[in-house]
Amino acid sequence: MLKTYLTAILLLFGAARLSAIENHPSGARPFALSNAIVSISDPWSTFHNQATLTGISAFTAGFYFESRFLIEELSLASGTIVLPLKKGVFGFSYSQFGKGTYKENKAGVAFAMMLTEKLGASVQLDYFSQRMPENENAYGFVTFETGLVYHFNQNLHFGAHFFNPIKAGVETAEGMQEMPFTVRLGTHYSLAGNMLISFEADKTASYNWFCRSGLEFEPVKNFILRAGVSGRPVNITTGIGIRMKKIVADIGFGYHANLGITPAVSIQFEL
C-alpha cells in the first residue's frame, strides 16, 4: 500500500523518480521564492546557478532539510560550502533524497569567476548515484552544469544556467535512463534597498517552459519575508529569514494544490 501511494505521488509531482534521478534544488530561501533564484547570489547557488557564487566574499557553510508533502520517504537533506579566493570562488555541495532502500545522491564541485566587471561564469562537475530496492549496488554517472550571470547595474541582474548538456544518465539493467538537459533563464530587480522581485523560466526536454516568480521584503533590519508562485498546477511558497551576525536561518513552506504542504529549513554560517 505504501509503495503504491508513493508511486502515485511521484507521478503526480511530475517526475518519475523510480526510473530516473532528479536534480533536486536546495536552500530554504530559494524554496520560499519558488526557486526563482537563477540570477540571485546565495550560498545555495551551488544547487541553482554557480555563477552567482561570485557575489559571495566570505567562507560560508550551510545545511538544508526538506520534508516533501510531510512524507518521510520523500525527505531531502543537503549541504553547501562556499570558498572565495582571489581569482574566483569554489563551491562544494552534496544532497540526498529519499530514505531506506531508495536514495538519490548528488555531489558537486564548482568554480566561478568574474570574466569582466559585469559578467560572471561558472562550471560544476557532478556525480549522481541512485540506489533502488531491487539492486544491491547503486547506479552512478558523471555530468556537468554551467552558468552565467550579468549585472546590468546595481539593481538589475540576469542569470542563465545549463544543466547536463551532454544528456548523461543512469545505465540500469533496463537500459539507459537519461537525465534531461535543462535550461534556466531569469532576472531579479532590487527596489529601495529592502525589496527584491525575481522571475525565472525553466525548460526541460519534452516539457514546456515552466515559470516561477518570487518576492522578498525586509520590513525591519535582519528580518525578511518571502513569497513565491510557480506554475501549473499552482504551487505557492512562503517563508522568513533571520540574520544573526554571521548566522542566517531560513524557513520555507510550500503548498501544492493536489499534494499538500512541504516545510523546509536551512541555516548558513559565515566565517
Based on the structure, what is the number of domains in the chain? 1
197-256, pLDDT tens digit by residue?
Answer: 999 999 998 788 999 999 999 999 999 999 999 987 789 999 999 999 899 999 999 998
Top pLDDT among 235 and 151 is at: 151
Which of 5-13's residues contact partners 24+ apart within 8 Å by CB, and which partners? 6/71, 6/73, 6/74, 9/69, 9/71, 9/74, 9/259, 12/258, 12/259, 13/256, 13/259
Q: What is residue 11's predicted lDDT score, i.e. its pLDDT?
A: 40
Phi, psi of 66 (to 5 degrees): -135, 135
Do 28 and 36 touch, CB atoms closer than 8 A? no
Return the CATH number at 95.
Answer: 2.40.160.60
104-128, pLDDT tens digit by residue?
Answer: 999 999 999 999 999 999 999 999 9
pTM value is 0.91
Do 227 and 32 touch, CB atoms closer than 8 A? yes
Q: Which residues contact 49 (CB under 8 A, 6 or more apart)?
A: 37, 38, 39, 122, 147, 148, 149, 159, 160, 161, 184
Range of the domain at 223: 2-270
- Band of pLDDT at residue 14, cut at 50, 70 and 90: very low
Count of CB atoms situated within 10 Å of the CB of 252? 27
